[in-house]
């Protein structure tokens, strides 16, 4: 049985998770419910949960402050939150699950399904450490996670030269010449990397402005990237693009 711990300073929110977990009685057991950070720290050490539902705001303490006090994070984390956008973006960077309050049954089932799969494996706390590191950078992230066939890799954002759309997939090209294909749209990465000097020069192309090798004045403009890719700038994006590169 998978051991579940719920940490939420609002009792009705914790009770909602309890209700949603009733469909998993054959797979999971609730080992503890905590309503404050200090109690949660003691409870985690005592019960050794496999999965933790963690509210982002715990009174005057945040979930991130609580996590930093743990010497080891060997459980699957699912955040429950009504938190502002930057924190949600940080969860996306680290490929961690989060549930927006009030939690819908469909979202809960998706997150719980992934949590059960992860809990049955040797869970690594690397993604949580990545999240905490990202949050300390005041909007500037260092890494993103990219799923692979047998797990995931961690890419330094500064190593990404460009991203190219392929219907509902995105190809990520790095300075080392590697190409990673991800089952996410280019719009997703456009929003994710907006604060890291990336610019969408074309419907199909998102580029790292720090990796532009040359700009050519053609009809709409063309950029040559560090990986020698030649990319057209769309006419409607050209003016804003020129403002961006002139500000570098």
* Tokens representing residue 85 in the block: 């956008």
CATH of 158-246, one of 2.60.40.1180, 3.40.50.1110, 2.40.50.1020, 2.40.128.50: 2.40.50.1020
Span 33-60, pLDDT tens digits: 999 999 999 999 999 999 999 998 888 8
Which residues in 79-110 are b (16+ Cβ under 10 Å) and which e? Answer: bbbebeeebebbbbbbebbbbeeebeeeebee
pLDDT tens-digit profile, the chain (248 residues): 999 999 999 999 999 999 999 999 999 999 999 999 999 999 999 999 999 999 988 888 888 889 888 888 888 889 898 765 545 655 665 556 888 888 999 999 999 998 888 887 755 566 676 666 666 555 556 788 887 766 678 899 999 999 999 998 999 999 999 999 988 899 989 988 888 899 999 999 999 999 999 999 988 899 999 999 999 999 999 999 999 888 87
34: closest CA among 25, 24, 46? 46
Q: What is the pLDDT of residue 214?
A: 95
Q: What is the pLDDT of residue 133?
A: 66
Q: What is the pLDDT of residue 145?
A: 80
Q: Which residues contact residue 96 at a Cβ distance below 8 angstroms, ignoring those fewer than 6 apart?
A: 77, 78, 79, 127, 128, 131
So where are the chain's domains? 2-135, 158-246
Cα 125 from Cα 192, distance rounded (Å): 22
Q: What is the pLDDT of residue 232?
A: 95
pTM: 0.57
Q: Are strands 76-81 and 97-100 parallel, antiparallel or unpaired?
A: parallel
Q: What is the pLDDT of residue 220?
A: 84
* Tokens representing residue 12 in the block: 């009705």
Specify whether domain 2-135 bears CATH 3.40.50.2000: no
């Amino acid at each position: 049985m998978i051991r579940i711990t719920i940490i939420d300073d609002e009792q009705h929110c914790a009770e909602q998770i309890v209700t949603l977990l009733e469909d998993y009685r054959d797979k999971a057991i609730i080992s503890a419910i905590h309503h404050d950070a200090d109690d949660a720290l003691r409870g985690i050490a005592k019960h050794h949960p496999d999965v933790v539902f963690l509210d982002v705001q715990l009174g005057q303490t945040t979930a991130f402050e609580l996590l930093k006090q743990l010497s080891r994070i060997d459980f699957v984390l699912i955040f429950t939150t009504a938190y502002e956008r930057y924190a949600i973006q940080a969860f996306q960077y680290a490929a961690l699950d989060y549930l927006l309050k009030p939690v819908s049954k469909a979202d809960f089932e998706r997150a719980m399904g992934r949590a059960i799969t992860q809990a049955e494996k040797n869970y690594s706390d690397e993604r949580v450490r990545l999240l905490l590191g990202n949050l300390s950078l005041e909007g500037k992230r260092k890494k993103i996670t990219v799923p692979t066939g047998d797990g995931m890799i961690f890419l330094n954002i500064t190593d990404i030269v460009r991203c190219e759309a392929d219907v509902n997939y995105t190809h990520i090209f790095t300075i080392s010449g590697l190409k990673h294909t991800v089952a996410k749209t280019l719009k997703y990465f456009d929003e994710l990397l907006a604060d890291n000097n990336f610019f969408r020069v074309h419907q199909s192309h998102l580029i790292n402005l720090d990796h532009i090798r040359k700009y050519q004045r053609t009809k709409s403009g063309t950029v040559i990237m560090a990986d020698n890719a030649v990319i057209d700038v769309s006419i409607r994006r050209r003016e804003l693009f020129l403002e961006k590169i002139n500000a570098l």
